[in-house]
Structure 1
Amino acid sequence: MSTETIPAPCVLLVDDEESILNSLRRLLRGQPYQLLIATSGAQALELFEQHKVDLVLSDARMPGMDGATLLAEVHKRDPQCMNLLLTGYADIATITAAINEGRIYRYLSKPWDDEELLHALRQALMHQHTERERKRLLLLSRKQNDELRQLNTTLEQRVQSRTAELQQTADMLDLAYDELRRSYVTSTEVFSLLINQRLPRNKQTNQQVIALVRAFASHIRLSEGDSHNLNMAAALYNIGKLSWPDALITAPADLLYSKHRDTYRSYPTQSETLLMSLEPLQDAARLIRHHQERWDGNGFPDRVKGDAIPLGSRILKLAVDFVELQCGLVLERQMNHDEALLFIQKYSEKLYDPDLIEDFCLICSQQMPDITVTQTNVRALETRRLEPGMVLARNLHADNGMLLLNEGKVLSKLLIDKLVAFEAIESSRYTLFVRVPEPQPALTE
């Protein structure tokens, strides 16, 4: 019995630097790929016409024809060819052109991580195989339908047999489609790791935001489709910041002024623009566009308010703010777990959907509990509920980050009155974590 040999996938590497091509050739040595090498876009197109190419990995910036133009031309000639962009520049125009015109599958940065690049190649070719198999099964289904119509009038028994085969084919198509959807979710989470490479470790937020929205979606029994879109939005919500300079991408939003504040307010729409050309990500892109809207209508970019904000966007804002408050990406001062929750509760009905707050705080406590609030003698109290003799359990900061009182300070009536007066001057409200004196056991005679 003869078996059909499956040819090795053909991978075309394009870069104008010989050293880069040599590094890629060494990395892929021993991999099950047929390699083609080109040092320019024109040479790459010549090889593309001479060979059946499955995947093109191209540098973004090359003299003559850049990577975006090359991948756009490749897509015109063979839409099934997988395109990956490799660049050492965070050039938003180049990336946008490559996504919109070249339909790139992935974007990789120089210098690359070897394992990540190998994984990207395997995943792209697996995605291509799944799509080809889906189309093959679809053509098979149509062919069998034609045969069924021809036999319908005289062969009832055969019709029943064919119907069973068609059902099996339809089930296989459903499985292939489900696998394709899961592949997109996985791809977005992998892509979120690339976003994190632009950030210091203590300001990498995507994985925490993903975990938080996934737990919250499960808790409120969000539908499977809405959960998929929310997970992808959580993975890619800050992709629009990729072109920012390092100083801006790590700066607290509250300290930005003038042009930088305008740049910050544009990132949800930039993120949406990058993703809208990919059909499976369009619903997630809409959630990202509106995740900085506010419940009272004073958010951005469209100033929508209340229930007009998509539910997924409202959930995403809660998760993003909770995580970024603790990373110092919202205010200059980094908040701890409890302070971030108190901030969210304080601005319910102003920034956040009040109907989501209770469940969200419950999930945050379960996902990232803080042991301080479990101490029986520690309370979170507003200034008007303070009593003399209580001891401050945490430093107290003003809204602008200035230290007002140190941990361990014993509160007196005079000090409490000064805090109340300071609130009135600042038009603000503060919550203090204090240790309440333990009750003394009664003396027995």
Structure 2
Amino acid sequence: MMFAASTAQAATVLLVDDEPNVLSAIKRELRHEPYRLLMAESGEAALELLAEEDIDLVISDAIMPGMDGAQLLAEIQQRRPSCVRILLTGKADLSATIRAINEGHIYRYIAKPWDDHELLLTLRHALSHLQSERERRRLEALTQAQNEELLALNADLERRVAARTEELQQTADMLDAAYGELKQSYVITTRVFSTLINQRLPRSLQTNAQVGRLVRAFADDQGLDESLRHDLEMAAALYNLGRLSWDDQMLTTPAQRLYAKQQSEYRRYPEAGEALLMTLEPLQGAARLIRHHREYWNGSGYPDRLRDETIPYGARLLGLAVDFIELQRGMILPRQVSRPGALELLQKLAGRVYDPELCRAFIALCQEQAPDLGLQDARVMTLDTRQVEPGMVLVQDLHSTEGMLLINHGKALTASLIERLIRFEETEGASYTLIVRPAESEEEV
């Protein structure tokens, strides 16, 4: 019982009985316990002490003149519900005991004459229970405070991103128009959030757009249902969210060159990404794909060591797309792997790391087309801003040199938008290349 006793350190116990010899007997029995003992010879005196002292536990006799034990404990329950209440009762006090249970919500009752060992054990258990409840409430309050702190940190991140891009404010009218359209689509809005994440990552490690193009092309090729497509697009945009807490050195080090401690942190990023998204109802499906996109077909992956078809289909596809792009960027091996070499490596790992059937279909798509480059359509053209014409449709997102999304793919260019983009280039001292296709009306003609 050493643990129970230790949790009761500095507990204040109030003994209430109209017979002084009973109070003395209980006090004598508790003399070796680490409690601060208070005594009262009536219910009224006990309530006065309750108003002045922070009392953890009350032991009250059932039968007392004036206010009896049941009335006293019911009053204490109203005034101080967290205070543990115990009733001392004789065999003839059944009605008082029942009232104490019903009205005072007592923790226990102890029959007179009491057993000394039982009395000590009951107090220790009661105070241990009280300590556990207090700790639970403390942890709930701490969790709430941490959630609020996280919200504050997210808000601060947005402010800092805005501060770093002050020089782009002269294009606010263009960005406002883009954001107005983005609000109409939750998927597109998610991709905007992805560009904010990219502010933390080096340009060469901003892989979200390529991963997104791959999963969209595969979804089109395989005719995946709309719900899964929706989750896949958002997961592709946000899969590396859990890496934002890494330091710069770890962000730029290939996975196979990380130290053991860094490897452990690396393996936690899918869980961290899921945790940040689970509170957002529309993103819970994407969060589940992010959590499991590092699971392996043979069960040796992480975080849950799922295997075979217990791994969500979307997570299997996301893992393939992520590895295909990150191998080429030099983010996994200590060297950049060529596009054909990456496809060959995926094939070798089929059946161990990847779903073999899914891997075959994925490789076939990448060999027939180049969806990760956004150039698989023969009508697609690569033009600078002074070559594009009104009505052309943007095939690939256009970002500023700082990584901010300027125009989202699928946007039909207007003369006004092209003119503003040319002025923006002159202001920023940059030159942008746009990947576009002809307007639908022109194709029909």
TM-score, normalization by structure 2: 0.46
Higher relative contact order (CA 8 A, sep 6+): 2
TM-score, normalization by structure 1: 0.46
